[in-house]
Structure 1
Amino acid sequence: MHQPRRRDRRLARRVPSEPAQRRAFRFSAVGADVVLVGYFSAKQKDFETLMASAARELAARGTRVVVQIVQRRGVSAGGVRKMGLPYSSRTLLSHGKVREVAQACDQANADAVIFVASLTEHQRRTLTGMLGRPAVSLSDILLPTDSSLKAGFRNTP
C-alpha cells in the first residue's frame, strides 16, 4: 500500500518583488562619476573606438567618466590557450581585474560602474556586491526613459 502524498514542507525560495529589485540598482546617471569598463576579445581590434564612443554617449547624458578600464581576452599566449574555456560567468571579468576596478572606484570616489558589455541579473548583483556600488550595463543607461524605468534605472533630465 502506498502512503498518501505529503505536502512539501520546505520553504519556497523567496524571490524579491520587482520594485525591490529595482531599488537595488537605481541611480541617477546625470551628474554621476562613473568607471567605464570594457571586456573585449583579442579579435576586436577597434575596442578603443568603442570605449571612446561609450564615453561620449555617457557625457552627452551628463555623466562624467572618471576612469576607463579594459579587459582583453586572448591577447597573451596564455590567454589564447584559455580562449576555449568559459570566462567567469559570475563576474564577466577575471578576479584580478575586479580588484583593479574596485580600487579605481575607491580612488576616484565613483558613484557607479558601467560595463560596455551586457550584464545578466546575476552578474549585476554579484558585481554590485563586490564593488560596493551599482554595476550596470551601458545598454541599460542608453535606453529611452520609459524603458529604463521599466528596467530599474532612473534617467532624470
Structure 2
Amino acid sequence: MHQPRRRDRRPARRVSSAPARRQAFRIPAAGADVVLVGYFSAGQKDFESLMESAATELAAHGARVAAQFVQRRGVSDGGARKMGLPYSSRTLLTYGKVREVALACERVDADAVIFAASLTERQRRTLTSMLGCPAESLSDLLPAD
C-alpha cells in the first residue's frame, strides 16, 4: 500500500526576501596578475583578435595578463551540432580546461581569472571555488564607456 507522506521531514528552507548582494571585484593596484580565458564557438574566426583586445583593455586598467586560455566549441565534427551551447552549464568550460586554468593560476599566483564571455552568478561562484581566485567576466569588470 501507499504510505502517506510524513510531515516530520526536513523543514522547508527559509529564503530571505532581500536578494544577496555580490561584492564587485575590482582590479587591485597596478600590476595585478590575471589569467584571461576566452570561450568561442567555431563560427567566430577572429577569436585571436578578440583575446588581444581583451588583454589590451585589461592592461589599460592596470592588470597584467599572465596567461591566456581559449576554449573553442564546435571545432570537431561531434561538437558542431552543439556549437551554441557551453560545455558545462556550471563552468562554461570542459573539466580539463578548468584544471589547466587552475594550475596556471597557482603557477603565476594570479589575483583573478577574467573571462571574455559573460558569466552567470552560479558560474562565477563555481569557478571561484574551483580556481582558487575570483572569476569575473570582462564585461562586468570594465566600466561601459
TM-score range, shorter chain: 0.7 to 0.9
Once the two structures are TM-superposed, the CA of residue 29 in structure 1 deviates from its matched residue by 4.1
1:6-155 to 2 correspondences below 5 Å = 10-14=12-16, 17-18=20-21, 21-22=22-23, 26-31=25-30, 32-83=32-83, 87-143=87-143
- Higher relative contact order at CA 8 Å, sep ≥6: structure 1 or structure 2? 1
Does the CA-based 8 Å contact 1:29-1:141 persist in structure 2?
Answer: no
Corresponding residue for residue 3 of structure 2: none
CA distance in 2, matches of 1:38, 1:84: 15
CA distance in 1, matches of 2:138, 2:84: 26
Does the CA-based 8 Å contact 1:30-1:61 persist in structure 2?
Answer: no
Once the two structures are TM-superposed, the CA of residue 77 in structure 1 deviates from its matched residue by 2.2
CA distance in 2, matches of 1:89, 1:109: 27
CA distance in 2, matches of 1:86, 1:66: 25
Does the CA-based 8 Å contact 2:25-2:136 persist in structure 1?
Answer: no
Count of matched residue positions in the alignment of Structure 1 and Structure 2: 133
Q: Unaligned 5+ residue runs, structure 1?
A: 1-8, 146-157
Once the two structures are TM-superposed, the CA of residue 108 in structure 1 deviates from its matched residue by 1.1
Once the two structures are TM-superposed, the CA of residue 110 in structure 1 deviates from its matched residue by 0.7
**Percent same amino acid at aligned positions?**
66
After superposition, what is the alpha-carbon deviation per residue over 1:83-111, rounded to whole angstroms, capped at 9, x for unaligned? 37653111111111111110111111111
User: Judging changes above 3 Å, is the alpha-carbon distance between structure 1 residues 98 and 57 closer, same or farther for their aligned structure 2 residues?
Assistant: same
Q: Unaligned 5+ residue runs, structure 2?
A: 1-10
CA distance in 1, matches of 2:131, 2:120: 16
CA distance in 1, matches of 2:49, 2:13: 50
Secondary structure of residue in 1 paired with 2:48: helix
CA distance in 2, matches of 1:84, 1:17: 30
Does the CA-based 8 Å contact 2:86-2:93 persist in structure 1?
Answer: no
Does the CA-based 8 Å contact 1:36-1:116 persist in structure 2?
Answer: yes
TM-score (norm 2): 0.81
Greater helix proportion: 1
